[in-house]
Structure 1
Amino acid sequence: MTTFFRSYWDEGDTWFYFEVGDDAWVSRQVELQGPELRPVVAARASDSDVRYGMTAEPPVTEWEGHVPEPLTAEEFERVWVAARRRITARLH
C-alpha cells in the first residue's frame, strides 16, 4: 500500500513530502524550503531529469530521527503538482 507523509527538518528549514511504495522506497518526493515554502525538489524515483532533484535513499524503514506526519493522497498530490509547476516555470 502506498503511504504519504511529511517531515520537517529544522536545520534546513525544509518540509519534506513523501510518497512511499510497498517496498518502503520513496517513489515521489517534494522539498519546500524556507518561510516562503520555495520548492527545491519535486522528483520521481524514475526521473532521469535531474533538474527536479532526486528522491531519498535508503528505504524509509532505515531512517532515523524524523517524525512523520501522515498525509492523504490528495494532500500530497496538491503539493506535488504545485511544486512541479513552480520548478518547471523556473527552468524555462
Structure 2
Amino acid sequence: MRCYWDEEDVWFYFEVDVNGWVTRQVELQGPELTPIAAASLDEWQQADEAGRLDEYDTRFGITAELPVSEWEGHDPEQLTFEGFEEIWQAARRQIASQHS
C-alpha cells in the first residue's frame, strides 16, 4: 500500500505481512520522488544482530514500528506486489549508487 504525508511531501510505500507488520518500506520525497529510505525488516534485524544497526539505519532507514492496524489518520491506497516491487527496486538502486 502507499500513503502520502503532505507535511513532509513524502510518499510512503509499504509491504505488509498477514499480521499487519511492515516487512519492507520505501519513502520518496519531493516532486522528484527522491528515495530517502528503502528498509527491509529482515535486513534491519540482521544488521541489529551483527552490531551494524546504525550503518543500516543511516543508509536505508527503518520500517514502521507498529502494525498498520494501530495507525491513525492514514488513508492508504492498495498496490499490487508488482507495483511495490518496481518502486522497491528503483529506490534500492538509487540509494546504493549514492553510497558506493
TM-score, normalised relative to structure 1: 0.93
2:37 corresponds to: 41
SS in 2 for 1:70: coil
1:18-64 CA distances to partner (integer Å, 9 max, x unpaired)? Answer: 00001110000000000000000000012222211100111100000
Matches within 5 A, 1:1-92: 5-47=1-43, 48=47, 49-50=56-57, 51-92=59-100
Q: What is the SS of the residue equivalent to 2:87? A: helix
Structure 1, 46-55 or 59-68: larger mean CA deviation: 46-55
Q: Distance in 2 between matches of 1:56 and 1:85?
A: 21
Give the letter for the 1:62 counterpart.
E
SS of 1:41 mapped into structure 2: strand
Number of aligned positions between the proteins = 88
| Runs of 5+ consecutive residues of structure 2 not aligned to the other structure | 48-55
RMSD, aligned CA: 0.6
Consecutive unaligned residues of structure 1, counting only runs of 5 or more, are: none
Rg larger in structure: 2
Identity score, percent: 59
TM-score scaled by length of structure 2:
0.86
